[in-house]
Amino acid sequence: MKNFQVAIIGGGVIGSAIARELSKYKLNIAVFEMGSDVASGTSKANSGVVHSGINSPHSSLKARFCVEGNKMFQSLADELGFPLQWVGKYIIAKNEGEINELEHLKKTGMDNSVSGLEMKGGSEVKKKEPNVSCVKALWVPTAGITLPYEFTIALAENAAENNVRFFLETKVTGLKKQQNHFLIKTNNGDFQAEVVVNAAGLNCREVVSMVEEPDFQVYLCRGEYLVLDKNYSSLINSMIYPVPVKELGVLGVHITPTIEGNILLGPSAEFIDDPYDKRTTKETMNNLIQEAKEIIPSLPDKAVINAYSGIRCKLALPESGGWADYRIEESKNMPGFINLLGVESPGLTAAPAIAKEIIKMISRLIELKEKNSFKSRIHGRKRFSELSTEEQLNLIKEDERWGRIVCRCEHVTEAEVIEALSNPIGAKTISSVKYRCRAGMGRCQGGFCTQHIVRIMGEYFNMDVTDIKLKSPNSNLFYGRTRGDQSD
Amino acid sequence: MVEPEGIKVIDHSADVVVIGGGPAGLAAAISAKESGAEHVVLLDRNSWLGGILPQCIHDGFGVEETGTSMTGPEYAEKYIEMAEKQDIDIMKETMVLQFDKRREITAVNKNGLHKIKASAIVLAMGCREKTRWNVMIPGDRPSGIYTAGVAQAFINLYNIMPGKNVIILGSGDVGLIMARRLKFEGANVLGVVEILPYASGLPRNVVQCLEDYDIPLFLNHTVTCINGKERVEQVIIAQVDKKMNVISGTEKKIECDTFLLSLGLIPENELANNVGIEIDSITGGPTVNQYFETTLSGVFACGNCLQVYDTVDVLATDAKNAGKSAAKNLTIQKKDKKIITKVAPGRGVRYVVPQIISEPGKVHLTLRAEKPRESSVLHVIADDKELLKKRLLWANPANMIGVDIDIPLEVMTTTQNLEVMLGDC
Amino acid sequence: MIVERNITCIVCPIGCKILVRIDGTQLEIVEGNKCKRGIEYAKNEAFDPRRMLTTSVLVNGGEWPLVSVKSSKPVPKEKLFPILKEIKRTAVNAPVKSGQTIIKNVANTDISIVATKTVKNNKI
């Protein structure tokens, strides 16, 4: 049995942000993640937007953590090297009737001290966004974009570099308070911890119910996205949002540029029962294109290179407006058990601020001593395609694997794949490579590079082909060898 | 640019640079050399030459060209040997990152970065397979979904078995051949699903890959959903109507662990696109004249990046002509290309290559029919004048049609558009 | 008894549909073949259907783990799977040269299995 002072259940953006913040202190910390990598749930499947904080009512936790988190992003990006661009956002009124809603949003934003909000006329918007038609828009300059999985991975890997232990493919199956500690049962053995942080996202209720009767319900709301080919990146310059869909408590189908030059359409909003049901549907795919065309009439039909969905963890039913605030609290009956419940959008933006809050809560339970050895990573991963000629030449001279391109769509080199596979949290799936170095994320969707990645996994990491997984414990890619297997 | 000592971009120059060492690139490079180009460079991103051929271990290659049937690796080796004998400068594991309007190529390999100034460039980058998202198949995103060519590479090159119970969507040749291949390797091939009312691959492959092994072919069917949270667990197939819309109520679940896609190929033209070469939206390849020259002077295109061919034989023949043109481009003084006639597909024809006639004389047109027909008539029309009328015993979209036509100078001076049509007898 | 049957020729990419009339051991081509090779094919297909067999064999110590192979001539259809079984059990050492015989008289058919690819030694 292994003992930790703090155990975090869930390696999403919240769990990873908390882990990284806690790794600044002299503590034994463990993160239990049931997926094969961090960011394997909602944290990777969202719009990747750093929100400004205009959408949540004043004095809500959502507003507070969103505004605080937003302000922390730039320095985090500088420290951790994940990409961040302040592209700004237009919330557009398609007709006169929607202008009121813009005014309302502006007021909420100002109440929440969001700076720079401006109303723009339709023709003014047209100058900046020639493909967008609207009568009026609210300009939100403090909204930005990031890569949500890279952000989460950077937090987690930096935490791991500062001695946080990550247990991947480890599902917490039982939780029990024993005297002054918790007994944590998992599929990979039993653990002990003084403090348990429930950052299990969609499964937050399941974790609570292991120790006490939950006083809340979780409502799952799936959002589907479409990814457009980079060829169409010039369609927009900023994020384009409709006015929010009040009845569902969601922001509505928006058009978001990504850091990598793709465009995202989505998300839809559909209440479902199964937290693992992340399918995409034909109806929604068609609807997303139709709704996006209402914003950008010139949107091409055949530009989609990928589709995915993510699931929002809501604490309110659609009948009651779909809006509820986050619950971030220590269990009243069970001191040392800290719960993060209903952390949906703007969770990505709020994560750094929530992490600070959790540190405060933990400091009331355990004495926290800062450690001198904490290393905030300064440089992110090098990407061959983004380097100068001189840097490229130096790298190739140092190691010829920098001169071998394995992903032809995104120009990713063998060295980058090896670096991705050598990550400090030990994630070794095809997806973990993709989310770290983009191999397989382009137009051919892995058609050419998968074979190279498989070769590299065998050559440098001694992995058997039957152990190679796409993204999760049972997502094996292969069924062994065609020749020479013992079974033949 | 200031560079530290000892680390430099490697500069080269060449008469003809061929980008891509598959069958088209090999044929073009050999032919360029034979046609008098002194320094020919052949670049390929793989560690081997021959492109996709080494994984196409089935036979049937070269029948039209040589009269004997070869396997893919044999066909490739024949050309590789010729290229090696011809003193062609071959650079493997070399990826072209870009080239500019002055035909300066930037490439990278383990030795460093290369700048190659080329008098002529031949594009032979080949194609890539359509993915699930090109046809927007919804559902889960599990492992076990492969394009047919990727599965073929795993089985035939890397000794890896990608699946056991397999459904194949698309009856193109690669899909049909993979059905047999998987059967040979002990997999259970549950069926090939085709949205069209006919198989899109060659008839001989329907016979020797499906019928021989009683593998069902579901015509007028498509896959409407993929289920499986981690590995593929089932796919839903359904019948479609004449407009290819799913007929509700015909959905059927098929339990499987692997879903192969053989949906067709997309020419790879990122390099051409980036430099502003015009791309034909139907073929997906560059717009070319009868010398295979693209809209950027001195840049030629051949092989599957020009148009997706159905046999390597025809592909190699065209590629040789492209290579020859690239070599000749060096010596012939360019005429002012003031007179240009465009060739456009008309009724019954999906596309025609070349799309541009830049000089009068004998021109070889390749085209594809829109749908299978029994005997029909091919017309080439200049305004209201018929330049060519040819009877065809059959026309099938799976078989490219080739036709020679003589285009007189007076037609070129009076007509700006030629139309190619297929009609009933 | 006279039977009429459609045979799709697989000799070349055209794939002619040949209508044949079979009377015992006699075969008459009714129509459909666009060349002479079709006649030959239809006769064989009616009385002794054969197929070229292509697959691969395990290579030890090669730059590739497999070498592609073919049958030296078309094999009787019913022998395909017994031959495949024998091939699966076979392994060769690198280097392998294209054209090299890998198995002689495979599954007692008097047919050889021949390499269709050159596989050099592994560089290590």
In three-state secondary structure terms, A102 is helix
In three-state secondary structure terms, B174 is helix
Instruction: Read off the pLDDT of residues B234-255 as tens digits, 9 standing for 90 and up.
Output: 999 999 999 999 999 999 999 9
In this structure, what token pair is assigned to residue C123?
């560089």
Residue A174 CB neighbours (<10 A): 11
Handedness of CA B42, B45, B47, B50 (dihedral sign): negative
Instruction: Read off the pLDDT of residues A391-430 as tens digits, 9 standing for 90 and up.
Output: 999 999 999 999 999 998 899 999 999 999 999 999 999 9
Question: Are B281 and B316 in the same domain?
Answer: yes
| Residues within 8 A of C (CB atoms), B 325-354 only | none
Interatomic CA distance for residues A432 and A150, integer angstroms: 10
B164 within some domain: yes
pLDDT of residue B330: 60
Question: Are A198 and A89 in the same domain?
Answer: no
Question: Are B38 and B90 in the same domain?
Answer: yes
* pTM of structure: 0.94
In this structure, what token pair is assigned to residue C5?
């049957």
Chains that touch B (3 or more CB pairs under 8 A): A, C
Of the three residues B217, B246, B263, the one that is the final residue of a domain is: B263
**DSSP secondary structure, A414-462, as one string:** HHHHHHHHT-TT---SHHHHHHHH-TT-STTTTTTHHHHHHHHHHHHH-
pLDDT of residue B2: 46
Taking CB atoms and an 8 Å limit, are B224 and A448 in contact across chains?
no
Of the three residues B263, B296, B326, the one that is the final residue of a domain is: B263
In three-state secondary structure terms, A6 is strand
Percent of chain B with pLDDT over 90: 83
Cβ atoms of B320 and B28 within 8 Å: the answer is: yes
Question: Are B295 and B346 in the same domain?
Answer: no
- CA of A63, closest CA in chain B: separation in Å? 34
Domain count across chain A: 3
A80 or A247, higher pLDDT = A80
Q: Quick one: A118 exposed, middle or buried, by C-beta within 10 A (0-12, 13-18, 19+)? A: exposed
Give the containing element (helix H, strand E) for C39: helix C37-47
Q: Which of B229, B222, B261 is nearest to B141 (CA)?
A: B229
Q: What share of chain C is helix, strand, coil (3-state, %, to 5)?
A: 20, 40, 40
How would residue B337 be classed by pLDDT, with cut points 50, 70 and 90?
Answer: low
Query: Average model confidence (pLDDT) for chain B?
Result: 93
Question: Are B292 and B371 in the same domain?
Answer: no
Residue B416 CB neighbours (<10 A): 12
Residue A364 domain boundaries:
1-84+146-215+323-380
Domain count across chain B: 3
Q: Which residues of B touch A408 (CB under 8 A)?
A: 45, 95
Question: Are C59 and C95 in the same domain?
Answer: yes
Handedness of CA A171, A177, A180, A185 (dihedral sign): negative
CATH code for the domain of B183: 3.50.50.60
The answer to whether A484 faces chain C, any CB pair under 8 Å, is yes
Q: Which residues of A touch C86 (CB under 8 A)?
A: none
A477 within some domain: no
The residues of chain C scoring below 70 in pLDDT are 124
Interatomic CA distance for residues A117 and A360, integer angstroms: 32
pLDDT of residue C85: 96
Name every residue in C having a CB less than 8 A away from some CB of A: 56-58, 65-66, 88-89, 91
Question: Are C66 and C89 in the same domain?
Answer: yes
Instruction: Read off the pLDDT of residues A142-157 as tens digits, 9 standing for 90 and up.
Output: 999 999 999 999 999 9
Question: Are A156 and A301 in the same domain?
Answer: no
Q: Which residues of B touch A447 (CB under 8 A)?
A: 128-129, 131, 147, 149-150
Question: Are A422 and A376 in the same domain?
Answer: no
Question: Are A235 and A186 in the same domain?
Answer: no
Cβ atoms of B316 and B28 within 8 Å: the answer is: no
Top residue of A451, A454, A483, A486 to mutate, by most chain C CBs within 10 Å, is: A483
pLDDT of residue B395: 85
Question: Are A298 and A280 in the same domain?
Answer: yes
Question: Are C33 and C62 in the same domain?
Answer: no
Interatomic CA distance for residues A270 and A160, integer angstroms: 36
A99 within some domain: yes
Q: Which residues of B touch A445 (CB under 8 A)?
A: 131-133
Handedness of CA A23, A25, A29, A34 (dihedral sign): negative
- Whether A442 shows a pLDDT value over 50: the answer reads yes
The answer to whether B251 faces chain A, any CB pair under 8 Å, is no
Question: Are B56 and B125 in the same domain?
Answer: yes
Instruction: Read off the pLDDT of residues A326-384 as tens digits, 9 standing for 90 and up.
Output: 999 999 999 999 999 999 999 999 999 999 999 999 999 999 999 999 998 765 678 99
Q: What share of chain A is helix, strand, coil (3-state, %, to 5)?
A: 35, 25, 40
In this structure, what token pair is assigned to residue B389?
């009328």
Residue B247 CB neighbours (<10 A): 12
Residue C27 domain boundaries:
2-48
Top residue of B19, B129, B133 to mutate, by most chain A CBs within 10 Å, is: B133
Q: Which of A55, A50, A45 is nearest to A244 (CA)?
A: A55
pLDDT of residue B26: 98
pLDDT of residue B384: 81
The winner for highest mean pLDDT among A93-102, A265-274, B24-33, B130-139 is B24-33
Taking CB atoms and an 8 Å limit, are C13 and B60 in contact across chains?
yes
In this structure, what token pair is assigned to residue B123?
């594009």
The answer to whether B150 faces chain A, any CB pair under 8 Å, is yes
The answer to whether A178 faces chain C, any CB pair under 8 Å, is no
- Annotated active-site residue A452? The verdict is no
Dmax (CA) for chain A in angstroms is: 72
Q: Which residues of C touch A482 (CB under 8 A)?
A: 56, 66
Instruction: Read off the pLDDT of residues A82-110 as tens digits, 9 standing for 90 and up.
Output: 999 999 999 999 999 999 999 999 999 99
Query: Average model confidence (pLDDT) for chain A?
Result: 94
Residue B391 domain boundaries:
338-425
Q: A93 — phi, psi (to 5°)?
A: -100, 120
Identity of the residue in C9, C15, C56 whose CB atom sits nearest the CB atom of B156: C56
Torsion of CA B367, B372, B374, B379, to 10 degrees: -30
Chains that touch A (3 or more CB pairs under 8 A): B, C
ipTM of the complex: 0.93
Question: Are C105 and C78 in the same domain?
Answer: yes
**DSSP secondary structure, B14-62, as one string:** EEEEEE--SHHHHHHHHHHHHTT-S-EEEE-SSSSSSTTGGG--SEEET
Looking at residue B210, what DSSP letter applies? Answer: I
Rounded average pLDDT over B354-383? 92
The answer to whether A486 faces chain C, any CB pair under 8 Å, is no
Interatomic CA distance for residues C94 and C115, integer angstroms: 12
pLDDT of residue B81: 96
Dmax (CA) for chain B in angstroms is: 73
Q: In what order do the strands lie in the sheet with C113-115?
A: C91-93, C54-60, C66-71, C113-115, C101-103
Identity of the residue in A280, A390, A446 whose CB atom sits nearest the CB atom of B3: A390
Q: Which residues of A touch C58 (CB under 8 A)?
A: 483-484
Percent of chain A with pLDDT over 90: 89
Instruction: Read off the pLDDT of residues B106-163 as tens digits, 9 standing for 90 and up.
Output: 999 999 999 999 999 999 999 999 999 989 999 999 999 999 999 999 999 999 999 9
